[in-house]
């Protein structure tokens, strides 16, 4: 009896393997260990293809077989493996605009920054998941734009809740008003 249930549940999980947001515990653990201090994992989704249409021709790239990771500060494109292998990192405050194009057969998300644009494609069987992801992305971007900024060294800085000054991510006290971060 146990065997039958086990077999059935295997069939069931095979059926769900098409869910592009599913990740193994091993991959999730690997992703979490690659996030910065205080960085929160928001969403993970497998995509069909991603292009970086960089203004500088030598930086142009295409990533096949990849996954997108959205955190509260970054958009990461990793290789579709069971461990974290980074293809491309986009800091959310660097995104100046974004577009979401939907049709019956695909969803395309375009992230525009000063250095070029990232085009992320989702195929037909991922449309509903990609739509959900694009909604989460829009909200996350909105929050990140207000909360974070990029300094001259290209690092992400956080906004002081009290006085609005942007300070280094690891800072515990605001250098302007002395506000304490927890």
Residue by residue, DSSP assigns 15-68 as HHTT-TT---HHHHHHHHTTSPTT--EEEEEE-SEEEEEESSGGG-EEEESEEE
Site membership for Zn ion, residue 6 (CB under 5 A): no
When binding is defined by CB under 5 A, the residue of 36, 162, 170, 171 that contacts Zn ion is: 162
Site membership for Zn ion, residue 177 (CB under 5 A): yes
Q: Which stretch binds Zn ion (CB under 5 A): 55-63, 89-97, 136-144, 168-176?
A: 168-176
- Shortest Å distance, C-beta 163 to Zn ion: 3
> Measuring CA to CA, which residue among 66, 18, 11, 13 is closest to residue 44?
66
Site membership for Zn ion, residue 11 (CB under 5 A): no
**Phi/psi of residue 104, nearest 5 degrees:** -65, -30
Site membership for Zn ion, residue 176 (CB under 5 A): yes
User: Can you read off the two tokens belonging to residue 27?
Assistant: 């991959």
Site membership for Zn ion, residue 163 (CB under 5 A): yes
Exposure string for 30-42, b = 16+ CB within 10 A, e = fewer: bbeeebeeeeeeb
Site membership for Zn ion, residue 174 (CB under 5 A): yes
Site membership for Zn ion, residue 32 (CB under 5 A): no
Range 142-161, binding Zn ion (CB under 5 A): 160
Chain residues binding Zn ion by CB under 5 A are 160, 162-163, 165, 174, 176-177, 179
């Amino acid at each position: 009896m146990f065997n039958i249930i086990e077999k059935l549940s295997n069939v069931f999980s095979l059926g769900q393997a098409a869910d592009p947001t599913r990740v193994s515990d091993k991959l999730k653990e690997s992703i979490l260990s690659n996030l910065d201090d205080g960085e929160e994992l928001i969403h993970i989704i497998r995509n069909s293809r991603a292009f970086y249409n960089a203004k500088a021709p030598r930086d142009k790239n295409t990533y096949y077989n990849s996954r997108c990771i959205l955190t509260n500060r970054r958009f990461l494109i990793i290789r579709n493996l069971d461990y974290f292998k980074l293809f491309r990192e986009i800091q959310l405050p660097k995104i100046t605009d974004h577009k979401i194009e939907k049709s019956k057969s695909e969803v395309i998300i375009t992230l525009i920054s000063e250095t070029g644009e990232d085009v992320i494609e989702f195929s037909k069987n991922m449309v509903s998941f990609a739509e959900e992801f694009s909604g989460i992305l829009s909200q996350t971007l909105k929050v990140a734009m207000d909360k974070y900024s990029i300094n001259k060294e290209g690092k992400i800085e956080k906004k002081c809740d009290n006085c609005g000054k942007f300070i280094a991510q690891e800072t515990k006290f605001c250098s302007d008003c002395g506000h304490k971060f927890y």
